[in-house]
Structure 1
Amino acid sequence: MQDSQIVRTEYSDVMKKSYIDYAMSVIIARALPDVRDGLKPVQRRTLYDMHELGIRYDKPYRKCARIVGDTMGKYHPHGDSSIYDALVVMAQEFKKGMVLVDGHGNFGSIEGDGAAAMRYTEARLAKITQEAYLADLDKDIVDFVPNFDETEKEPAVLPVRIPNLLVNGAEGIAVGMATSIPTHNLGEVVDGVKAYMKNDEITTRQLMKYIKGPDFPTGGIVVNKDDLPQIYETGTGKIKIRGKVEVEDVKGGKKRLVITEIPYTMIGAGIGKFLNDVCNLVETKKTTDIVDISNQSSKEGIRIVIDLKKGADVENLTNMLYKKTRLEDTFGVNMLAVADGRPETMGLKRIIEAHVDFRFDMATRKYNTLLKKEQDKKEIQEGLIKACDVIDLIIEILRGSQSIKDAKACLVNGETENIKFKSSISKKMAGMLRFTERQATAILEMRLYKLIGLEIEALQKEHEETLAKIARYEDILNNYDSMAAVIMEDLDRIKKEFARKRRTVVENAEEAVFEEKKVEEQEIVFLMDRFGYAKTVDVSTYERNKEAADNENKYILHCMNTGRICIFTKDGKMHQVKVMDLPYGKFRDKGQPIDNISNYDSTQEEIVYICDSEQMRYANLLFATKQGMVKKVGGSEFQVTKRTIAATKLQPEDEVVNIRVVTENQHIVLQTADGFFLRFPAAEVTEKKKGAIGVRGIRLKKDDALTNVYLFEEGTECKISYHEKEVTLNRLKLAKRDGTGTKYRG
Structure 2
Amino acid sequence: MTTSQERIIPIELRNEMSRSYLEYAMSVIVGRALPDARDGLKPVHRRILYAMHELGLTADRPFRKCARVVGEVLGKYHPHGDTAVYDALVRMAQDFSMRSPLINGHGNFGSVDNDPPAAMRYTECRLQALTGDALLRDIESETVDFTDNFDGSQQEPLVLPARIPQLLLNGSSGIAVGMATNIPPHNLGELIDSLVALIQNPELTDIQLMQYVPGPDFPTGGQILGTTGIREAYTTGRGSITMRGVAVIETVEQRGRPDREAIIITELPYQTNKAALIEKIAEMVNEKRLEGIADIRDESDRDGMRIVIELKRDAYPRVVLNNLYKQTPLQANFGANMLALVNGEPQLLTLKQFLNVFLDFRIEAITRRTRYELRKAEERDHLLQGLLIALLNLDGIIHLIRSAADTPTARQELMDSYRLSEAQADAILQMQLRRLTALEAEKIRQEHDDLQAQIADLQDILARRDRILSIIETEVTQLKTTYATPRRTLIEPVEGEFDDIDLIANEKAVILVTEQGYIKRMPVNTFDAQSRATRGKSGTRMKEDDGVEHFFTCCDHDSVLFFSERGVVYCLKAYQIPAGSRTSRGVPIVQMLPIPREEKITSVVPVSEFTSDEYLVMLTKGGYIKKTELAAFSSIRANGLIAISLEEGDQLRWVRRARVEDSIIIGSRYGMAIHFRTNHEQLRPLGRATRGVRAMKLRPGDELVGMDILSGAILADLNTVEADITEADIEEIETEEIETEESTEVLINGNQGPWVLVITMGGYGKRVPVSQFKLYNRATKGKIATKFKNRKFQDKLASLMIVNEDDELMMVTSRGIIIRQAVKAISPQSRSATGVRVQRLDEDDAIAAVALVPPDVSDEEASE
Shorter-chain TM-score: what band?
0.5 to 0.7
- Give the aligned partner of residue 162 of structure 2: 160
The residue type equivalent to 1:305 in the other structure is V
Taking a change above 3 Å as real, the CA distance of residues 26 and 515 of structure 1, as seen in their structure-2 partners, is: closer
Q: CA deviation at 1:285?
A: 4.2
Q: Does 1:258 align with 2:264?
A: yes
Letter of the structure 2 residue corresponding to residue 2 of structure 1: T
Percentage of matched positions with identical amino acids: 44
Q: In 1, Cα distance between the equivalents of 2:236 and 2:10? A: 46
Query: Against the structure 1 CA distance between its residues 113 and 287, is the aligned structure 2 distance closer, same or farther, given a 3 Å change threshold?
Result: closer
Structure 1 counterpart of 2:455: 470
Cα RMSD, aligned residues only: 2.3
The structure with the larger Rg is: 2
Q: Which moved more, 1:257-266 or 1:87-96?
A: 257-266
| More moved, 454-463 vs 170-179 | 454-463
Q: Pairwise mapping of residues 553-568 of structure 1 onto structure 2 (< 5 A)?
A: none
Letter in 1 for 2:332: D
Distance 2:131 2:267 in 1: 27
The aligned counterpart of 2:778 is none
Which residue number corresponds to residue 2 of structure 1?
2
**CA offset digits 1:263-319 (Å, max 9, x no partner):** 1131x3xx2332233334433445543222111122322211112244642222221
Cα deviation 1:11-43 (Å, max 9, x = unaligned): 111111111111111111111111111111111
- Given the alignment of the two structures, is residue 184 of structure 1 paired with residue 190 of structure 2, yes or no? no
Q: Would you say 1:305 and 2:308 are equivalent positions?
A: yes
Q: How does 1:435-474 map to 2 (within 5 A)?
A: 435-474=420-459
Question: 1:374, 1:466 within 8 Å by CA — same for their partners in 2?
Answer: yes
SS, match of residue 37 in structure 2: coil
Structure 1 equivalent of residue 39 of structure 2: 37
Q: 1:320 is matched with which residue: 320, 323, 328? A: 323
| 1:150 and 2:152 correspond | yes
* Correspondence list, 1:87-236, <5 A: 87-236=89-238
Q: Check conservation: 2:319, 2:505, Cα contact below 8 A.
A: no
Cα distance in 2 between the residues matched to 1:7 and 1:409: 61
Q: Once structures 1 and 2 are overlaid, which stretch shifts more, 366-375 or 488-497?
A: 488-497
- 1:554 aligns to what? none
* Cα distance per residue 1:103-153 (max 9 Å; x no partner): 111111111000011111111111111221112221111111111111111
CA distance in 2, matches of 1:403, 1:10: 70
The separation in 1 between residues aligned to 2:10 and 2:419, in whole angstroms, is 70
Q: Which moved more, 1:494-503 or 1:512-521?
A: 512-521
1:298-377 equivalence runs, <5 A: 298-310=301-313, 312-377=315-380
2:309 is paired with a residue whose SS is: strand
Per-residue CA deviation, residues 450-479 of structure 1 (Å, 9 max, x unaligned), is 122221221121112111211111111111
Q: Is 1:509 equivalent to 2:494 in the alignment?
A: yes
Q: Which amino acid aligns with 1:376?
A: E
CA contact (8 A) 2:97 2:271 kept: no
Contact 1:63-1:123 within 8 A present in 2 as well = yes
Secondary structure in 1 matching 2:357: helix
- CA 1:280/1:516 → structure 2, altered by over 3 Å: closer, same or farther? farther
Equivalent pair of 2:144/2:365 in contact (CA under 8 Å): yes
> What code does the residue aligned with 1:66 have?
R
Aligned position for 2:471? 486
Pick the structure with more helix per residue.
1
1:395 to 391, 394, 398: 398
Provide Cα deviations, 1:570-601, integer angstroms capped at 9, x if missing partner. xxxxxxxxxxxxxxxxxxxxxxxxxxxxxxxx
Q: Residue 50 of structure 2 corresponds to which residue in structure 1?
A: 48
CA contact 1:265–1:331 (8 Å) conserved in 2: no
Residue equivalent to 2:541: none
Tell me what 2:678 maps to.
none
Q: 1:241 aligns with which of 240, 243, 261?
A: 243
Distance 1:319 1:203 in 2: 37
The equivalences for 1:313-712 within 5 A come to 313-414=316-417, 433-510=418-495, 511-513=497-499, 514-516=502-504
CA contact (8 A) 1:57 1:125 kept: yes
Unaligned runs of 5+ in 1: 415-432, 522-613, 619-746
Whether the 8 Å CA contact 2:377–2:454 is kept in 1: the answer is: yes
Separation of aligned partners in 2, 1:247 and 1:454: 76
Residues 107 and 124 of structure 2 are in contact (CA less than 8 Å); yes or no, is this contact kept in structure 1?
yes
Mapped contact 1:253–1:310 kept (Cα < 8 A): no
SS in 2 for 1:133: helix
Q: Distance in 1 between matches of 2:301 and 2:425?
A: 69
Moved more, 286-295 or 9-18: 286-295
Secondary structure (helix, strand or coil) at the match of 1:247 reads strand
Q: Cα deviations across residues 521-544 of structure 1 (Å, max 9, x unaligned)?
A: 9xxxxxxxxxxxxxxxxxxxxxxx
* Partners of 1:288 and 1:401 in 2: CA distance: 101
- Tell me which residue corresponds to 1:293: 296
| Contact 2:168 2:183 (C-alpha < 8 Å) held by counterparts | yes
CA distance in 2 between counterparts of 1:327 and 1:317 reads 12
1:247 deviates by: 2.3
Deviations 1:386-441 (CA, angstroms, capped at 9, x unpaired)? 22122122222223323333332332222xxxxxxxxxxxxxxxxxx222222222
C-alpha distance in structure 2 between counterparts of 1:95 and 1:265, whole Å? 7
In 1, Cα distance between equivalents of 2:108 and 2:438: 61
CA distance in 2, matches of 1:54, 1:380: 31
Aligned-pair distance for 1:182?
0.3
Asked if the contact 1:256/1:306 (under 8 Å) is kept, the reply is yes
Matched residue type, 1:117 = A
Offset of residue 227 of structure 1: 3.2
CA contact (8 A) 1:216 1:504 kept: yes
Q: Which amino acid aligns with 1:214?
A: P
Contact 1:290 1:307 in 2 (8 A): yes
| Deviation, structure 1 residue 346 | 1.0
TM-score calculated relative to the size of structure 1: 0.65
CA contact (8 A) 1:226 1:508 kept: no
Say if 2:31 and 2:43, in contact at 8 Å, map to a contact too.
Answer: yes
Q: How far does residue 517 in structure 1 lie from its aligned partner after superposition?
A: 5.4
Gaps of 5+ in 2: 511-586, 592-864
Structure 2 counterpart SS, 1:254: strand
Given that 2:229 and 2:242 are in contact with CA atoms closer than 8 Å, whether structure 1 keeps it comes out as no
Give distance in 2, aligned partners of 1:24 and 1:9.
Answer: 22
Note if contact 2:108-2:118 (Cα within 8 Å) is conserved in structure 1.
Answer: yes
The answer (yes or no) to whether the contact 2:226–2:494 under 8 Å persists in 1 is yes
Cα distance between partner residues in 1 of 2:36 and 2:270 = 23
Counterpart CA distance in 2 for 1:165 and 1:185 is: 11
CA distance in 2, matches of 1:288, 1:118: 44
1:177 positional shift: 0.9
- Amino acid corresponding to residue 223 of structure 1 in structure 2: L
SS in 1 for 2:250: strand
> Is the Cα–Cα contact under 8 Å of residues 286 and 517 in structure 1 kept in the other structure?
no
Paired with 2:363 and 2:217, the residues of 1 have a C-alpha distance of 27
Aligned residue type for 1:450:
R
Q: Answer yes or no: is the 8 Å Cα contact 1:231–1:237 preserved in 2.
A: yes
Match of 2:722 in 1: none
Q: How many pairs does the alignment contain?
A: 504
Q: 1:16 to 1:397 in 2, by over 3 A?
A: same
Question: Residue 442 of structure 1: SS of its match in structure 2?
Answer: helix
